[in-house]
Structure 1
Amino acid sequence: MRRVLFLALLGLSACAIPRSQAPFEAGPAAAPAEIVPEPPRARERWQPGQVIADAVRVETQTYIVQAGDALSLIAERTGSAVRTIARANRLQPPYKIYPGQRLEIPGGRYHRVRRGDTGIAIALAYKTDWDEIVQANALDAPFLLRIGQRLFLPDAASPQRAETMDAPADTPEPAPSELAAFNVDIDDIITGGEPAIAEEDAPAERASALPEPAPFDGRFTWPVEGRLLSSFGAKAGGLYNDGINIAADKGAPVRAAATGTVIYAGNGVEGWGNLVLLKHDEDWVSAYAHNDAFYVQRGDRVGRGEVIAEVGQTGSVTRPQLHFELRQGRKAVDPRAHLPTG
């Protein structure tokens, strides 16, 4: 997983984005002069909450199935997890077992999910990549966590140096805390940002309770007017940018690039600042980072050109700007290839 530190520092050379390249759909007709429309109000920012890192270590052991046992009961008795035991013993749903059967119980650390826990927060609490937790527990899309569920935690990997981008040769190295913050990326937020929900509210086949977005016509528009600070793609020194960074005045409106549903609006991940993610259909997601005020919250449906936030200077940036990404599936694509050129 590529780690990208979105630093757009003062002094970077920037290309101008002509205003003609950032058209926005016209809004409703202006109100009569005597009527002053009420400005949009900032919405409450979703926070992932603090995860209590109290994982229990389970020793590797063998369990002999007793009459009346179920895999869930065995997991509870041993402190392990249903799917972890199933994978270790090559059991397939509905996980039929029989008395006298010998089951291998994998040893390791297991975290019990509490109300409000998210995959991101759990990963950060244990300094383990969320995608490794997904793989270790064979979690399936849409990666919903259940209250009381146990997650097997793979051993934390050695810290990896996050990548920076577009930093001039005389730019000082980012602080270690800034680098560590980027053990979480857009994919993690999309798949691990959902708060845990009660078991009875989440049958295995059920997807997220988010409303489906309005039909997406495949068109995107520029989310903000401004100067290009950093383009998409490879940079000098083996660095990479998964989106584009656009300089704009603090408080400038940030608009939805297309019709969609808000799947995340918060500042629970260091470095990104205030981040909004919009889901447009089963393939496309757009990301808007370093915002100031939010005008949307998770579950809101928005139209193309609707104001969703204000440009800010939050996260690991030193000037007001918007970091904008387009993702098709799990792949970041160059936004400018899908935005109007004139």
Structure 2
Amino acid sequence: MFGVLKILGISILLLLLVSCGSHMAPTSSLKQPPSIRLNYHTVSKGDTLYSIAWRYGKDFRQLAALNGIRSPYNIYPGQRLKLTGKVPPSASSKAPIAAKKTVSKPVSSKKPVATASKKSLTKAPRRQMAQTKRAGSIRWRWPVQGQLISRFRSGDPLRKGVDIAGEKGESVLAAADGTVIYAGSALRGYGKLLIVKHSEVYLSAYAHNHRLLVKEGSKVKAGQRIAELGSSGTDRNKLHFEIRKNGQPVDPLAYLP
């Protein structure tokens, strides 16, 4: 009798498990929640106005004007910043934003990068490291020598710049003269990051470094060693390099020699 009850109990348990399993949705059918457009950002420790503008693809001048913040753009943890809306007339007069028509365009070479062969763009040769290319008043140079493993793709949030493979500890050089406006690791997905301001229009970023060699506020010269290449925030040793024009990502290959 005890044996029959034991078998009956096991059978009921198996039926319950099968029944529950039949109602579980397969992993492949689980959808990601829809993206939410943020209207505000709450400042955290380590944030700067520049890093917040970089995170959301904003022009730092526009973000400052939108929130009535004057140079040198000091912010504090817990402060709530508006990301959208119209710039108040009084604020726009204090922090003017350059009109698009006045922005200098990159000087095209005899053979534009867009028409070059794929093979010629897969590596920054040693002889090109010292070469420069002018865009407006700025002369750009390659920040590191190595294999180009990922290219810029307009509209792709994962390809806002180029990835250049290298060895851990290899020198990362400033791509142009400028001022370091961010040095830290608070921006998710960038690891140890440097952002350099070259003008009111152009900024550049150097991500996934092993070690940062300059601090915020440092003046740097083109070709100066500013970091050591590494794998912070990623799965391999590489430099992720971006150029932003008026807050928007542009293809670095259109600016590098």
TM-score range, shorter-chain basis? 0.5 to 0.7
Q: Which runs of 5+ in 2 are unaligned?
A: 1-39, 84-92, 97-135
Are 2:187 and 1:258 aligned?
no
Residue pair 2:193, 2:207 contacting (<8 A) in 1 also: yes
1:331 Cα deviation (Å)?
Answer: 2.0
Relative to structure 1, the CA distance from residue 142 to residue 229 in structure 2 (aligned partners, 3 Å threshold; closer, same or farther) is: farther
1:146 Cα deviation (Å)?
Answer: 5.1
Residue pair 1:251, 1:311 contacting (<8 A) in 2 also: yes
Query: Which structure carries more helix by proportion?
Result: 2
Relative to structure 1, the CA distance from residue 269 to residue 229 in structure 2 (aligned partners, 3 Å threshold; closer, same or farther) is: same
Specify the structure having the higher radius of gyration (Cα).
2
| Partner SS for 1:241 | coil
Equivalent position amino acid for 2:216 in 1: R
1:115 Cα deviation (Å)?
Answer: 8.7
Indicate the structure whose relative CO is greater, using CA pairs within 8 Å and at least 6 residues apart.
1
Residue pair 2:57, 2:248 contacting (<8 A) in 1 also: no
- In structure 2, how many angstroms separate the alpha carbons of the residues matched to 1:121 and 1:252? 25
- Name the structure 2 match of 1:92: none
- Name the structure 1 match of 2:143: 223
Residue pair 1:120, 1:130 contacting (<8 A) in 2 also: no
Relative to structure 1, the CA distance from residue 265 to residue 146 in structure 2 (aligned partners, 3 Å threshold; closer, same or farther) is: closer
Encode CA deviations 1:86-125: one digit per residue, 9 max, x unaligned. Answer: xxxxxxxxxxxxxxxxxxxxxxx997x89976569999xx
- In structure 1, how many angstroms separate the alpha carbons of the residues matched to 2:143 and 2:158? 22
- Name the structure 1 match of 2:66: 138
- In structure 2, how many angstroms separate the alpha carbons of the residues matched to 1:249 and 1:329? 32
Q: Which runs of 5+ in 1 are unaligned?
A: 1-108, 124-128, 155-203, 208-215
Q: How does 1:46-61 map to 2 (within 5 A)?
A: none
Equivalent position amino acid for 1:220 in 2: W
- Name the structure 1 match of 2:36: none
Question: Identity of counterpart residues, as a percentage?
Answer: 39
Encode CA deviations 1:298-341: one digit per residue, 9 max, x unaligned. Answer: 000011100000100001x211000001111122111111111x
1:138 Cα deviation (Å)?
Answer: 3.5
1:269 Cα deviation (Å)?
Answer: 2.2
2:206 corresponds, among 284, 288, 291, to 288
Q: How does 1:9-158 map to 2 (within 5 A)?
A: 118=48, 138-140=66-68, 144-145=73-74, 151=80
So what's the TM-score if we normalise by structure 1?
0.40
Q: How does 1:203-282 map to 2 (within 5 A)?
A: 217-234=137-154, 241-282=159-200
Relative to structure 1, the CA distance from residue 271 to residue 205 in structure 2 (aligned partners, 3 Å threshold; closer, same or farther) is: same
So what's the TM-score if we normalise by structure 2?
0.52
- In structure 2, how many angstroms separate the alpha carbons of the residues matched to 1:307 and 1:252? 10
1:223 Cα deviation (Å)?
Answer: 0.3
RMSD of aligned alpha carbons: 4.1
Are 2:256 and 1:339 aligned?
yes
